Amino acid sequence: MRTEAKVILVTGATSGIGKATAELLASKGCRVFGTSRDPVGKSGRGFELLQLDVTSDSSVAACVDAVAERTGGRIDVLHNNAGTGIIGAAEEVTPEEGMKLFQINFFGVMRMTNAVLPLMRARKAGTVINMSSSGGVAALPFAALYCATKFALEGYTEALRHELRPLNIAAVVVAPGPVSTPAGDTAMRAERHIPEYADRRKKADALSVRGIRGGMDPRRVAETILKVVKDDWPSPRYPVGLQSRATNLAHGLLPPSTFEAAVRWGAGLG
Ligand SMILES: NC(=O)c1ccc[n+]([C@@H]2O[C@H](COP(=O)([O-])OP(=O)(O)OC[C@H]3O[C@@H](n4cnc5c(N)ncnc54)[C@H](OP(=O)(O)O)[C@@H]3O)[C@@H](O)[C@H]2O)c1
């Protein structure tokens, strides 16, 4: 399928994966709309940048209306990319901090999807791409809440896919391993500190920042999104990078206790 005429909405397109994806798709002739919570003074290369805070119903409605107004009600692909993390032991993260993260990573996706689906249903076509992570299959210590949002997103997308299939709308998960973006540095940190976790939390925090800084080029994820956009009927799940593919494989093949040991080893916990 040709990509020229496709209208694509990418949430969180000022940085990292979203920016790389919006730029790549625009360079392939798609009509791309990217978003930022604060687009004033910022611009996208080859795409228009709209205001969007995925935690706000009114902001989501205004953003989707703005795209629909410009395209005559057409959005072919929604790339739910905006997201962040929180580092801290599960016990250190307060429910309020956890809810804040879920509002972005999970309910933000749900809000956007619910706002865009009426346009896709009207045209009996569309693709919803949700950004998960290798952490959506293997939960990492000191990233419990982040992984919980991605596990939730995986389940949500799987069910959504079944529901949308008869309507000719595909729901897809893209799940990279570490990608070189500012996300490790800018992730939230749990404010509450419990001494018993301090050493391991610091180690996990440093590992996460280092792992993400040294991760794959975001353009590799953008290439995968391009593949999804071009596919007539994309697959349910696209792991990106060796780490994510190996996680998938190991999760499918290894007994749970062996898989757990492999994750502990990978997380530097011996
Ligand atoms: N980096 C990795 O290693 C990695 C691995 C697997 C999966 N992922 C996932 O990939 C996605 C993108 O990650 P990234 O590493 O590219 O992150 P990033 O470089 O930190 O970019 C995050 C983007 O999200 C936007 N954003 C943040 N909060 C928002 C909100 N409330 N409403 C709307 N937009 C918001 C930001 O835009 P403004 O600040 O301009 O609003 C920014 O453009 C996330 O879902 C992440 O979980 C990342």
Nearest to 100 by CA among 202, 205, 191: 191
Distance 221 CA to ligand 1 centre (A): 13
Question: What integer pLDDT is reported at residue 1 of this predicted model?
Answer: 47
Tell me the mean pLDDT in the region 92-99. 98
Question: What integer pLDDT is reported at residue 174 of this predicted model?
Answer: 98
- Classify residue 249: in a domain, yes or no: no
- Classify residue 179: in a domain, yes or no: yes
Q: Which tokens is 88 given?
A: 């801290």
Nearest to 29 by CA among 4, 47, 64, 48: 4
- Classify residue 262: in a domain, yes or no: no
Overall number of domains in the chain: 1
CATH code (residue 137): 3.40.50.720
- Classify residue 55: in a domain, yes or no: yes
pLDDT at 223 over 70: yes
pLDDT at 270 over 70: no
- Counting from 1 in the atom list of ligand 1, the atom nearest the Cα of 105 is 45
* Mutational pocket test of ligand 1: of 9, 10, 11, 15, the residue with most ligand atoms within 8 Å of the beta carbon: 15
Distance 140 CA to ligand 1 centre (A): 19
Question: What integer pLDDT is reported at residue 269 of this predicted model?
Answer: 73
The answer to whether the beta carbons of residues 131 and 21 sit under 8 Å apart is no
* Mutational pocket test of ligand 1: of 10, 19, 36, the residue with most ligand atoms within 8 Å of the beta carbon: 36
- Classify residue 168: in a domain, yes or no: yes
pLDDT tens-place string over residues 21-61: 999 999 999 999 999 999 999 999 999 999 999 999 999 99
d(CA 35, CA 50): 5
The answer to whether the beta carbons of residues 15 and 182 sit under 8 Å apart is yes
Distance 224 CA to ligand 1 centre (A): 17
Question: What integer pLDDT is reported at residue 266 of this predicted model?
Answer: 83
- Classify residue 175: in a domain, yes or no: yes
Nearest to 126 by CA among 64, 47, 217, 59: 64
d(CA 93, CA 225): 32
Quick one: pLDDT band at residue 239, thresholds 50, 70, 90?
A: very high
Question: Containing domain of residue 117, as a range?
Answer: 7-243
* Mutational pocket test of ligand 1: of 14, 17, 153, the residue with most ligand atoms within 8 Å of the beta carbon: 17
Q: At what angle do helices 242-253 and 256-266 cross, to 10 degrees?
A: 160
Quick one: pLDDT band at residue 3, thresholds 50, 70, 90?
A: low
Question: What integer pLDDT is reported at residue 267 of this predicted model?
Answer: 82
Within 13 Å, how many C-alpha atoms sit on residue 46's CB side?
16
Question: How many other β-carbons are positioned within 10 Å of the β-carbon of residue 71?
Answer: 15
Distance 12 CA to ligand 1 centre (A): 6
- Classify residue 270: in a domain, yes or no: no
The set of protein residues with a Cβ atom below 6 angstroms from ligand 1 is 11-18, 36-38, 52-55, 81-84, 104, 131, 133, 176, 178-179, 181-183, 186, 212, 215
Q: Please provide residue 163's backbone torsions phi and psi, each rounded to the nearest 5 degrees.
A: -70, -35
- Classify residue 265: in a domain, yes or no: no
Question: What integer pLDDT is reported at residue 184 of this predicted model?
Answer: 97
CA angle 259, 260, 263 (to 5 degrees): 85
What percent of the chain is helix, strand and coil (3-state, nearest 5)? Answer: 50, 15, 30
Q: At what angle do helices 218-230 and 16-27 cross, to 10 degrees?
A: 50
Per the prediction, the chain carries an average pLDDT of: 96
